[in-house]
């Protein structure tokens, strides 16, 4: 029985490596349906990295609470159709679906139609990015290329490069500047 369990774990691990990063769906985290959706083109040239500038979360339960708070703020206070980002990454190392694939986000004025928006849950002027979050983000970007959402030679920007903001926070900013697709 233990051997079967080990084989199953090995198969799941390999499937994860082949299929890419696991994404916690919006329905799984209890997100509300979008009021409306606009299609996001394929073969985009840009990905924009953000932080939520709110509370950090290190467990799935805590991250789900943050996701629901952010979605409520974006939809109820700002009047947006949905949570602004395509995907969000928690301190627990999980990737959470925001608007998801092929749906235009509301994350960077004048850049929403030509980029995917990925946000880290927390305030990374003070919070530290973890190796699990870095792995998740790089896996998500790799998946975006494999799916054809962004081109393989995409340009990675921090939000501060396309808008007047501190986002994605100094600690993420210092990290993403070392990634191969980041451009000054």
Query: Which pLDDT value is given to residue 3?
Result: 56
Show me where the domains of the chain are located. Answer: 40-177
Average pLDDT over residues 2-18: 46
Per-residue pLDDT of 81-133, as tens digits, reads 999 999 999 999 999 999 999 999 999 999 999 999 999 999 999 999 999 99
Backbone angles phi, psi at 6, to 5 degrees: -65, -40
pLDDT of residue 4: 57
- 62-93 confidence digits (pLDDT tens): 999 999 999 999 999 999 999 999 999 999 99
**Which fold does the domain 40-177 belong to in CATH?**
Lysozyme-like (3.40.80)
pTM of the model: 0.88
Residue 7 has pLDDT above 80, yes or no: no
């Amino acid at each position: 029985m233990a051997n079967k369990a080990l084989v199953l774990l090995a198969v799941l691990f390999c499937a994860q490596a082949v299929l890419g990063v696991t994404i916690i769906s919006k329905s799984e985290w209890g997100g509300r349906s979008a009021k409306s959706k606009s299609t996001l083109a394929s073969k985009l040239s840009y990905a924009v990295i953000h932080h939520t500038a709110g509370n950090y979360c290190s467990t799935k339960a805590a991250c789900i609470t943050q996701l629901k708070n952010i979605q409520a703020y974006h939809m109820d206070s700002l009047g947006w159709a949905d949570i602004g980002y395509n995907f969000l990454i928690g301190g627990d190392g999980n990737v959470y679906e925001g608007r998801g694939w092929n749906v235009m986000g509301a994350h960077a004025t004048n850049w929403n139609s030509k980029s995917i928006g990925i946000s880290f849950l927390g305030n990374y002027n003070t919070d530290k990015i973890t190796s699990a979050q870095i792995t998740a983000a790089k896996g998500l970007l790799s998946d975006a290329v494999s799916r054809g959402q962004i081109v393989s030679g995409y340009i990675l920007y921090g939000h501060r490069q396309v808008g007047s903001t501190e986002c994605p926070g100094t600690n993420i900013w210092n990290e993403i500047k070392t990634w191969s697709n980041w451009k000054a």
